[in-house]
């Protein structure tokens, strides 16, 4: 068979790139969804019968005889699906043909698994020197933890994030979204694009190695500096900021709200707006360092001032003065937020035969670009016939 190049999508910044996606559950699918949202064509390769493990994780939408995972649905839009068993010679032949036409292969098996299947980086690079391989794993392809399994909760704990989250004096608390997986998916998408840019210069692909634990360490930002400069191990401090005050949750008449006065000038304006100008003259609060030291005292005084009016009043008043602030939204509130709606950050797609669900859109927007078009997460093996014909391996007619 002649070497082929799979037909690429023509729209989007990554239009022209074809991704073969061996990933499952969350970190890998999140990476490939980002690439798909940006215009790459993503062909998801799943195990026959079972498919991606995420297809069996709830919540589920019941659609007649079919039960569809909303979990899977949320991170697999804009992809095609073909079911292949890479231990079966016939299916390996299809997979090899896919690789001939691909630019990028993404996998999130435990290190060594893809090599045992005959697709190590060395083998792939020899056969397809332009191919970019991205491997996402718990601990990366090297190091003493290389072969250990990991989930989001494991790397949140081992990477220090868990030790920083929760109420002051309380127990560490998991971040409410799977930041271990999501961060790895985002860093992998960045790495893939960097490797593609390099390939434009060199003509040669790279192996992108992303470990979930590494990504958690990369998110520690100022906690690393505080550990070394202060000589104290950072611990949970609730919603407030460790180095800026006032910067956190405060209680108004009807609900909690966020106020973030990030410098001395904002603090003065905040005090004026609250009818508490005397706080600016209090020796405890004149500097940010003092406000941080006496943060508990200041919070009591700000809460007392805010208690006279509802959140809506304070948001309007503080925003006019250029003081960053916001309501404490739950997920339902976010879905109805006018700014979220205006930015197109919710995409409604069909799930099953009779229902539609909103999913979070890609937050990367481009000036003057038309609205992105999205397809729902694919059914298992949905695109087999079309793909086999495109690969020249099936003589049956394409499905309309």
Question: For residue range 89-130, what is the model confidence (pLDDT) as tens digits?
Answer: 999 999 999 999 999 999 999 999 999 999 999 999 999 999
301 strand-pairing partners: none
Domain co-membership, 181 together with 275: no
Domain co-membership, 385 together with 305: no
Domain co-membership, 323 together with 350: no
Q: How many domains does the chain have?
A: 2
- Residue 397 and residue 399: Cα distance in Å, rounded? 6
Per-residue confidence (pLDDT) for residue 394, from 0 to 100: 74
Per-residue confidence (pLDDT) for residue 5, from 0 to 100: 77
Domain co-membership, 74 together with 193: yes
**298, 327, 356: which is the final residue of a domain?**
327
Residues 6 or more apart from 156 whose CB is under 8 A from it? 162, 174, 175, 179, 180, 216
- Assess whether 383 carries a catalytic annotation: no
Question: For residue range 313-360, what is the model confidence (pLDDT) as tens digits?
Answer: 999 999 999 999 999 999 999 999 999 999 999 999 999 888 899 999
Confidence of residue 3 (pLDDT cuts 50, 70, 90): low
Question: For residue range 279-293, what is the model confidence (pLDDT) as tens digits?
Answer: 999 999 999 999 999
**Is residue 224 included in any domain, yes or no?**
no
Domain co-membership, 31 together with 121: yes
The domain spanning residue 312 has which CATH number?
Answer: 3.30.1540.10
List the domain range (segments joined by +) for residue 28. Answer: 18-219+345-390
> pTM higher than 0.85, yes or no?
yes
Per-residue confidence (pLDDT) for residue 391, from 0 to 100: 93
Mean pLDDT across 134-163: 96
**Is residue 64 included in any domain, yes or no?**
yes
> Helices marked H in 10-158 — which ranges?
27-37, 70-74, 89-100, 113-116, 121-127, 152-158
Per-residue confidence (pLDDT) for residue 1, from 0 to 100: 45
Return the number of other C-beta atoms located less than 10 Å from residue 120's C-beta.
15
**Is residue 92 included in any domain, yes or no?**
yes
Q: Which of 56, 241, 374, 383 is catalytic?
A: 241
Domain co-membership, 138 together with 168: yes
User: 220 and 183 in contact (C-beta within 8 Å)?
Assistant: no
Domain co-membership, 213 together with 309: no
Domain co-membership, 94 together with 149: yes
**Is residue 336 included in any domain, yes or no?**
no
Domain co-membership, 41 together with 110: yes
Q: Is the pLDDT of residue 18 over 80?
A: yes
**Is residue 296 included in any domain, yes or no?**
yes
The domain spanning residue 171 has which CATH number?
Answer: 3.40.50.10540
């Amino acid at each position: 068979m002649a070497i082929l190049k799979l037909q690429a999508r023509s729209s989007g910044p990554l239009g022209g790139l074809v991704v073969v996606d061996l990933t499952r559950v969350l970190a890998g699918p999140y990476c490939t969804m980002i690439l798909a949202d940006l215009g790459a064509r993503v062909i998801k390769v799943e195990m026959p019968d079972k498919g991606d493990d995420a297809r069996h994780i709830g919540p589920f939408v019941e659609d007649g005889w079919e039960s569809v995972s909303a979990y899977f649905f949320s991170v697999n839009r804009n992809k095609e699906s073909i079911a292949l068993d890479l231990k079966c010679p016939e299916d390996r032949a299809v997979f090899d043909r896919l690789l001939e036409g691909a630019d990028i292969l993404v996998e999130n098996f435990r290190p060594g698994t893809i090599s045992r299947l005959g697709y190590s980086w060395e083998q792939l690079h020899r056969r397809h020197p332009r191919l970019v391989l991205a491997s996402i794993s718990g601990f990366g392809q090297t190091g003493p933890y290389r072969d250990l399994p990991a989930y989001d909760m494991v790397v949140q704990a081992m990477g220090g994030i868990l030790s920083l989250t929760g109420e002051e004096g309380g127990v560490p608390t998991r971040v409410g979204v799977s930041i271990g997986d999501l961060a790895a998916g985002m860093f992998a998408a960045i790495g893939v694009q960097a490797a593609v840019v390099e390939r434009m210069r060199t003509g040669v692909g790279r192996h992108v190695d992303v470990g979930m634990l590494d990504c958690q360490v990369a998110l520690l930002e100022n906690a690393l500096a505080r550990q070394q400069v202060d000589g104290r191990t950072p611990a949970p401090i609730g919603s407030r900021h460790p180095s800026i005050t006032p910067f956190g949750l405060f209680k108004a008449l009807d609900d909690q709200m966020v106020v973030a006065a990030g410098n001395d000038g904002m603090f003065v304006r905040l005090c004026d707006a609250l009818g508490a100008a005397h706080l600016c003259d209090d020796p405890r609060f004149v500097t940010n360092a003092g406000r941080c030291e006496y943060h508990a005292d200041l919070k009591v005084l700000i809460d007392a001032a805010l208690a006279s009016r509802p959140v809506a009043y304070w948001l309007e008043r503080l925003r006019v003065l250029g003081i960053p602030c916001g309501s404490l939204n739950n997920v339902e509130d976010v879905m109805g937020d006018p700014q979220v709606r205006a930015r197109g950050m919710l995409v409604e797609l069909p799930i099953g035969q009779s229902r539609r669900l909103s999913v979070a859109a890609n937050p990367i927007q481009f000036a003057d670009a038309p609205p992105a078009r999205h397809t729902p997460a694919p059914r298992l093996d949905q695109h087999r016939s079309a793909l086999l014909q495109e690969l020249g391996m099936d003589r049956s007619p394409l499905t309309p």
